[in-house]
Structure 1
Amino acid sequence: MTARVGVPTLGRRAVAEGVGTAFLVAAVIGSGVAATQLSPDDVGLQLLENSLVTGAALVALILALQPVSAAFNPVITLIERALGQIDSRAAAALVLAQVVGGCAGAVVANLMFDLSAVSVATTHRDGPDLWLAEVVATLGLVTVVFGSLRAGRTGTVAYAVGGYIAAAYWFTSSTSFANPAVTVARTLSDTFAGIAPASVPWFLLAQLVGGGLGLALVAYLFPTTTSRAALLDPEATHE
């Protein structure tokens, strides 16, 4: 028999978003540091290690926290607001929790590898090719998340998102940040996964553009959606 969590309070949802985003960022940065230490002379292997760990962490975190809240991404949360799934107050609280949680995850990752708690990233990631990659990466992520949800396949979202992000690390030139909270948090670690603060504004703009395009595509492809109660309860939908 499966226990039901009921409809979670905003406070519980914010905590879930903060904790989930913190673990996600810790996985991204921590695996990047470990990869450079374990495979110092092979950048391709470093990226493989980084992408597999990130994808696996996403699967685990979404499976664990989905009954409460498991967006871990301001773009996803803003689209939920645009679709009327949450109100503006909830959206603001969840986005704040994601950003704060992501920054906390970066600090913890640095400390776990005996680095300074905060080291401002110096890796510049600039250029139209990378900005286009972020549009594509975010568009794809939104399509995967909301396509799965609108098809009623709530139980598959974790695997779809984890698999997509692991793949997008490779097929996008930007290595698929596709997440404003994670992007901001990665400025706090001057390591393999870092991004210089000066590069962040264009990345955020590209992610918002990709999110908007993704919203339009999902609305066109899936003109109807399941109820929020069904989205919160994987047992309520069946493939």
Structure 2
Amino acid sequence: MSTAEAVPATPAESGEPLAEPHPAPGATPPPAPLVARAAAELVGTAALVAVVVGSGIQATGLTQDVGLQLLANSLATVFGLGVLIALLGPVSGAHFNPAVTLAEWWTTRRAGAGVTAREAAVYVPAQIAGAVMGAILADAMFGEPLVKWSTHDRSAGHLLLGEVVATAGLVLLIFGLARTDRLRFAPVAVASYIGAAYWFTSSTSFANPAVTIGRAFTDTFAGIAPASVPGFVAAQLAGAVVGLGLVALVFMRGRTAEARPPA
């Protein structure tokens, strides 16, 4: 048998179409283009706000009991957020939250393994735009005015404290999962935390500057008065700083192995 007979023809030589290359098993797939990631953040944040606002409108139309309204609103948010994280997490990380994006940029700015300053500058506007679009969409679905500034004042100090606590806990959870290589649990863990924080925080856990801005555009159950937005955003950013401090303390690098019992 000659060498020519022993070596099979390559796809290019045989005229067969070239197959798309696949990453090796266990290899990290290449990141999606930035435009795709920005689109995922915009669509995800819009869908999240539509769930929050829409379920609030639906709940107030079905019952006058405020407790049942909050229960319906929180359950819809839990399920919706979990689905969105599972769906869009592999594309953009499913931040849907400027506080999370900025926290990731800050913690990885030197290592270069997370969101860069350029990417954060794209993510944050996409999240804010998506939040506004989501509020308008929810109003449109329920026949409400497309844009009507909320009259729901949320400027009390105890509400701002609630936002600090809610956002600090969210950042601690997300970055704690990342530090312990358990981000695969994020859809369930993050959604569950937000559902719990609806009830244990005085502010019902906005914990998200983009969502806060979007909810100012709807004068419904989930709305927040524009005058209350700056205080909430400042409290959320402060909470993110507190959360990062807790991550650094609780998940201190170089100490985890020492704390584990011997095998």
User: How does the TM-score come out when normalised to structure 1?
Assistant: 0.90
The reply on whether 1:49 has 2:72 as its aligned counterpart is yes
Instruction: Provide the secondary structure at the position in 2 that maps to 1:188.
Output: coil
Q: 1:149–1:157: 8 Å Cα contact kept in structure 2?
A: no
Asked if structure 1 preserves the Cα contact closer than 8 Å seen for 2:212 and 2:229, the reply is: yes
User: Following superposition of structure 1 onto structure 2, how do residues 1-239 of structure 1 map, counting pairs within 5 Å?
Assistant: 6-39=30-63, 41-69=64-92, 70-84=94-108, 85-224=114-253
> 1:134-175, CA deviations, whole angstroms, 9 ceiling, x for partnerless residues?
000000111111111211112101101100001101111100
Aligned mates of 1:192, 1:150 — CA distance in 2: 37
The worse-fitting range, judged by mean Cα deviation, of 140-149 and 47-56 is 140-149
CA distance in 2, matches of 1:42, 1:5: 49
CA distance in 2, matches of 1:151, 1:52: 28
Deviation per CA, 1:96-125: give whole Å up to 9, x if none.
100001100011000000111111100001
CA distance in 1, matches of 2:29, 2:57: 36
Q: Write the distance in 1 (CA, Å) between the matches of 2:80 and 2:30.
A: 25
Structure 2 length-normalised TM: 0.82
Q: Residues 5 and 67 of structure 1 are in contact (CA less than 8 Å); yes or no, is this contact kept in structure 2? A: no
How far did residue 8 of structure 1 move? 1.3
**Which AA in structure 2 matches 1:10?**
L
- How many residue pairs match? The answer is 224
Output the CA distance in 2 between the equivalents of 1:179 and 1:74: 7
8 Å CA contact 2:52–2:73 kept in 1: the answer is yes
**Greater relative contact order: 1 or 2 (C-alpha under 8 angstroms, separation 6 or more)?**
1
CA distance in 2: counterparts of 1:145 and 1:93, whole angstroms: 21
Alpha-carbon contact 2:198-2:205 (below 8 Å) kept: yes
Quote the offset at 1:220 in angstroms: 2.1
Answer whether contact 2:174 2:183 (CA < 8 A) is retained. no
SS in 2 for 1:6: coil
Contact 1:131 1:206 survives alignment (8 Å): yes
Give CA deviations for 1:34-57 in whole Å, capped at 9, x if unaligned: 000011x20000000000100111
Could you tell me how far 1:14 is from its partner in structure 2? 0.5
Percent identity (aligned): 53
Aligned-CA RMSD value: 1.7
Deviation at 1:26, TM superposition (A): 0.2
Residue identity in the other structure for 1:28: V
In the aligned structure 1, how far is the partner of 2:79 from the partner of 2:57?
17
Corresponding letter in the other structure for 1:120: W
> Letter of the aligned partner of 1:24 in structure 2?
L
CA shift, 1:222, in A, is 2.1
Do 2:60 and 2:69's aligned partners in 1 also have CA atoms closer than 8 Å? yes
Mapped to 2, the partners of 1:102 and 1:191 lie a distance apart of 15
| Partner in structure 2 of residue 236 of structure 1 | none
Structure 1, unpaired ranges of 5+: 226-239
5+ residue gaps, structure 2, are 1-24, 109-113, 255-263
